[in-house]
């Protein structure tokens, strides 16, 4: 199965203008659990930007793209590029499995969110 580290460091091409980015990390919104892919323009990319502990490390270079809008507008490189992954896979493999990969990421990431940052529930309100 493809995991987080298999995407980190891969080049990404934007469909409408062919601009090249590098996938630096994934981000999950603790309120609605939406996953975003965090990209940095290749011209501004440096290796320390891969998998940062905080998005602030990327400064103004971070481009967040919602997971559900990614496949229709971006394409992953077929090469490993800056990735440390041992897997080689094509964009087509990702596209076919995109929602399954999202579900696996969500199942993995949501339990890691601190309780105080999780969504508000009815019991939180009087």
Q: What's phi and psi for 27, nearest 5 deg?
A: -135, 140
pLDDT of residue 109: 85
**pLDDT: which is higher, 2 or 61:** 61
Contact 2, 89 (CB under 8 A): yes
Q: Per residue in 64-84, pLDDT tens?
A: 999 999 999 999 998 888 988
> Would you state the structure tokens that stand for residue 38, as one six-digit string?
């965090």
Gap between the Cα atoms of 26 and 15, Å rounded: 20
pLDDT of residue 116: 78
Strands (E), the chain: 11-14, 20-28, 35-41, 62-66, 74-76
User: What is the average pLDDT across 112-125?
Assistant: 65
- Name the average pLDDT for the chain: 88
Q: Per residue in 10-51, pLDDT tens?
A: 999 999 999 999 999 999 999 899 999 999 999 999 999 999
Q: Long-range CB contacts (< 8 A, 24+ apart) of 90-96?
A: 93/2, 94/2, 95/71
Gap between the Cα atoms of 35 and 106, Å rounded: 8
Helix (H) or strand (E) holding 108: helix 91-109
User: What is the average pLDDT across 109-125?
Assistant: 69
Contact 37, 14 (CB under 8 A): no
Question: What is the reported pTM?
Answer: 0.86
């Amino acid at each position: 199965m493809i995991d987080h580290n298999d995407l980190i460091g891969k080049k990404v091409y934007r469909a409408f203008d062919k601009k090249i980015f590098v996938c630096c990390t994934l981000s999950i919104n603790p309120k609605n659990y939406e996953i975003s892919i965090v990209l940095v323009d290749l011209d501004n990319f440096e290796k320390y930007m891969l998998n940062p502990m905080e998005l602030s490390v990327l400064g103004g270079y971070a481009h967040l793209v919602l997971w559900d809008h990614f496949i229709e507008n971006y394409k992953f490189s077929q090469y490993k590029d800056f990735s440390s992954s041992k897997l080689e896979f094509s964009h087509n493999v990702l596209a076919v499995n995109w929602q399954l990969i999202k579900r696996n990421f969500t199942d993995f990431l949501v339990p890691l969110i601190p309780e105080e940052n999780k969504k508000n529930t009815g019991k939180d309100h009087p």
